[in-house]
Amino acid sequence: MRYMSMKKLFFAITGLMLSLNMYATQQVHSILTQTWKDNVWQNIDIEVYTYNGNGHLINTLYQNWKNGNWHDGGLDSYTLNNDETVNTMLYQYWDSAANNWQGSEMDTFTYDDNENITSKLSQEWDSASWQNMDLVSYTYDENNFMITQKNQSWNTSYWQNNMLYTYTNNSNGLKDTVLSQYYGFNAMQNGYYSLYTYSSEGKVLAWKELIWANQWKNFFLHTYTYDNNGYLISDLYQGANYDGSWYNAGLDTYINNNNGRIDTIIHQTWDTNNTWQNSYKDIYNYTTTTGIVTEAPFAYFIFPNPTSDFVSFEVADKNTPYDISLNDIAGKQMLNTGSRTGNQILDFTSLCAGIYFLSIRQGNMTTTKKMVRQ
């Protein structure tokens, strides 16, 4: 049983700090989830994160709230390769009868020479050995953008094809569409089709999913809004009626703290009285660490890296303008923020998996950081 919440994990994976002298950074220590019940917020579960000395996530502990106390539920443990890429992810559950952790599932990753993930093998523990379960394989184009993802499951002695995802990019190199198909008896069958729209700054404004029912029909729609600093503040989720029109389903509201980081995400649902009702919320708690590094000419903080969604960029000097550009491994520019001050969130959701180079220029000083889009 897997306890991992990928939506929470994208902000929990560690970041990397760089500064001229001393840095002080905050990593996500825990995410507390509470439910709205009897007109008050009540604890449900908590995720607690542990990092190694280089700031990479190595453990995630999942606990459930019961009878006024926290009880262990799950534990994810990560092993890293020499280049700090993830080698394995072990998922365990707490056996209260045996009073210890029991192996449940494990993912093993492989990479190409450009550090692109080429496969993820999922296995389950059968009390004596690891048994194959699922295999995900990835391919990339000459720009290191992911173009296909194939999902297979183990059928006694061979890998059986299940799903194929095909990605296309728009003229700016951003993810434009994703076609999801499943393997039928004689041919590929359409499943879902995702389309993305962007602002002039390259921020995702909408993600629409279509479903195949002898023709493409509306299925769901996410609409994103941002504040003046470019921080994500809301995600409106709508489902499709039979006639293709949209109805409200869910709303996520993001509240940032004074540093521009996420403090709370409030999740609401649309009820029959046509009002938003609280469902649950996630509360982020951060820890501060310090250290000394010398390779960067000015102080800034980027997290998470690797990322699968958004990247938080924080700069120590909130008044001096800077600009950020992001290039792919072939040198093609994927993002340019123009002149900015203060913190901001960079949107990586439209990018395909691969390696990118983030250049930050402030005055006559420039530094470059390698970023990994998972």
Would you give the end-to-end CA distance of the chain in angstroms? 23
**Mean pLDDT of all residues in 145-159:** 92
Largest CA distance in the chain: 63
* Window from 60-74, 116-130, 223-237, 340-354 with minimum mean pLDDT: 340-354
pLDDT of res. 86: 86
Q: What burial class does residue 92 get, using C-beta atoms within 10 Å of its C-beta: 0-12 exposed, 13-18 middle, 19+ buried?
A: buried
Q: Taking the domains of the chain in order of start, what are their residue ranges?
A: 6-373
Q: Which residues contact 303 (CB under 8 A, 6 or more apart)?
A: 13, 14, 15, 16, 27, 311, 312
Q: List pLDDT tens digits, range 173-219.
A: 678 899 999 998 778 899 999 999 988 877 889 999 999 999 999 99
Length of the chain in residues, anyone?
374
Ranges of H-type helices in the chain: 6-12
**Mean pLDDT of all residues in 95-122:** 90
3-state DSSP assignment of residue 329: coil
Q: List pLDDT tens digits, range 235-245.
A: 999 999 999 99
Better-scored residue on pLDDT, 124 or 258: 124
Asked whether the bond before 304 is cis by omega within 30 degrees of 0, the reply is yes
Q: List pLDDT tens digits, range 43-96.
A: 999 999 898 877 778 899 999 999 999 999 999 999 988 877 889 999 999 999
pLDDT of res. 238: 97
- Beta-sheet strand order (sheet of 300-303): 16-18, 300-303, 310-315, 344-347
Question: What pTM was estimated for this model as a whole?
Answer: 0.73
Extended beta strands in 200-275, E state: 204-212, 216-226, 232-240, 246-256, 262-270
pLDDT of res. 162: 95
- The most confident of the ranges 7-21, 44-58, 125-139, 283-297 is 125-139
Q: Which fold has domain 6-373?
A: Lipocalin (2.40.128)
**Mean pLDDT of all residues in 139-148:** 84
